[in-house]
Amino acid sequence: MSAGAADLAARLAELKRAKHATVLAHVYTVPEVQDAADFVGDSLGLSREAAGLDPSIRIIVFCGVHFMAETAAMLSPGRTVLLPDATAGCPMADMVSDEDVRAMRREHPGAAVACYVNSTAAVKAESDVCVTSSNAVRVISRLAEREVIFVPDRSLGLWVQKQVPDKRLILWDGFCPIHHAMLRAQVEAARRAHPGALVLAHPENTEELLGLADYIGSTEQIVRHARESKATEFIIATENGILHRLRAQNPGKAFHAVSEGAVCPDMKKSTLESVVACLEGELNPVTVDPAVAGRALRAINRMLELS
Ligand code: SF4
C-alpha cells in the first residue's frame, strides 16, 4: 500500500469509528476499496449483511452501484446509506422501467414477476419476488406460478430456464454490456494460452460463452468453486474486480481474465478518495420513496425467505 493509500485508510478507520459507519463493497470494486471494506461480497451477501448489521451502525458507505445502495437503504431503515460517487449506475438495471413491468403484467395476466436484483427499487416494487444470480434457480423453482416474467437480464433468464424446465420464463431483453462484450474467440485464445485451466463463467455472460464454460455461477459461487476445486489454474469470465479476491484467497493458484477489457466503469467509481470524502461530508445519501420501498421490500424479503 502506498503512503497516500495508507493515510486514506487510516483516515477512513478514524471516520468509521467517529461516525459509527461501516463500508460494504462489491467484489467488482477496485482492490484498495475491497481491502478497506468491512465486508466484501456479491449482491446477495451484501443484502444479507445490510439487513443484519449491528444496531450501533448509523451509516453505510456502499461501494457499488445505485441499485445496490437502494437495496441496502431499504433493508436498513433508519440508517444513512451513502454512495461514494452519485453517478455510479448500472446500464442493465436502467434497461427496464416500472411501466415496462406493468405492461408485461397486463400482457401475461396470471404470470408471476421475478426481477433480478440488478433493477431499480421502482421495478422491484412492481415485482412479486427478487432474485440474485446465486439464488435465481432455487427461488424461481419454488414459485407457485408456472409462467414467470423475468426482468431485466435475458442471459440469466435463459440460464435459469434450462434448469427449471417445468416453468415458462417470459424474458425481457436486458443485458450486462460488460459480460456481453466477452467473446468466444477470447475464451478460445485464453484456453490456448493456458491449456488445462478451467473456465469459470457468470450467468450474465452470453449463452454462447456459457456453452464454453466448465463452471457457471454467481461471483460468490465462483469464489467458492475456485477455493474448493483441486484445479490450480482458472480463466475467469466475469468482471475483473473479482481477480483481486481470487488471488488473495488462493495464493497457490493462477487466475487469468478472459479479457483485460472486462471492466465495469461504474463499479470502479468508488475509490479510496471518494469513500473518505463521502463519509467525511456524508455526501450522496441514497433514499427510496417509502411507498416504493414498502412494496419493493416485499419482493426482497420473499427472496430472502425462499433462498
Ligand atoms: S457489471 Fe454489468 S450488471 Fe454489474 S453493475 Fe456493471 S453493468 Fe451493471
- The full set of domains in the chain, from first to last, is 3-88+267-281 (3.40.50.10800), 93-175+290-306 (3.40.50.10800), 182-257 (3.40.50.10800)
The answer to whether the predicted template modeling score (pTM) of the entire model surpasses 0.95 is no
Q: Which residues, at least 6 apart from 259, have a Cβ–Cβ distance to it below 8 Å?
A: 181, 182, 183, 186
Atom of ligand 1 nearest to the CA of 179: 2
pLDDT in tens, the chain (307 residues): 666 888 999 999 999 999 999 999 999 999 999 999 999 998 878 888 988 999 999 999 999 999 999 999 999 999 999 999 999 999 999 999 999 999 999 999 999 999 999 999 999 999 999 999 999 999 999 999 999 999 999 999 999 999 999 999 999 999 999 999 999 999 999 999 999 999 999 999 999 999 999 999 999 999 999 999 999 999 999 999 999 999 999 999 999 999 999 999 999 999 999 999 999 999 999 999 999 999 999 999 999 888 8
Among protein residues, the one with the nearest Cα to ligand 1's atom 2 is 176
- All three cell numbers of 29, joined, read 470494486
- Ligand 1 neighbour 90 (Cβ under 6 A): yes
Q: Which residues, at least 6 apart from 156, have a Cβ–Cβ distance to it below 8 Å?
A: 116, 133, 136, 150, 203, 204
- Ligand 1 neighbour 32 (Cβ under 6 A): no
DSSP code at position 42: -
State the alpha helices, DSSP H only, in the chain: 3-19, 31-36, 43-51, 66-75, 98-107, 121-125, 136-141, 154-163, 177-180, 184-193, 207-210, 219-228, 242-249, 272-281, 290-306
CA distances from residue 140 to 39, 83, 116, 195, 306 in whole angstroms, order as listed: 28, 30, 11, 36, 9
- Ligand 1 neighbour 88 (Cβ under 6 A): no
pLDDT, position 149 = 98
Among protein residues, the one with the nearest Cα to ligand 1's atom 8 is 90
Distance CA 244, CA 240 (A): 8
Q: Which residues, at least 6 apart from 250, have a Cβ–Cβ distance to it below 8 Å?
A: 226, 227
- Ligand 1 neighbour 285 (Cβ under 6 A): no
Among protein residues, the one with the nearest Cα to ligand 1's atom 1 is 264
- Ligand 1 neighbour 242 (Cβ under 6 A): no
- Ligand 1 neighbour 176 (Cβ under 6 A): yes
Distance CA 190, CA 30 (A): 23
Atom of ligand 1 nearest to the CA of 178: 2
- Which residue in 95, 126, 122, 97 sits closest to 111, CA to CA? 126
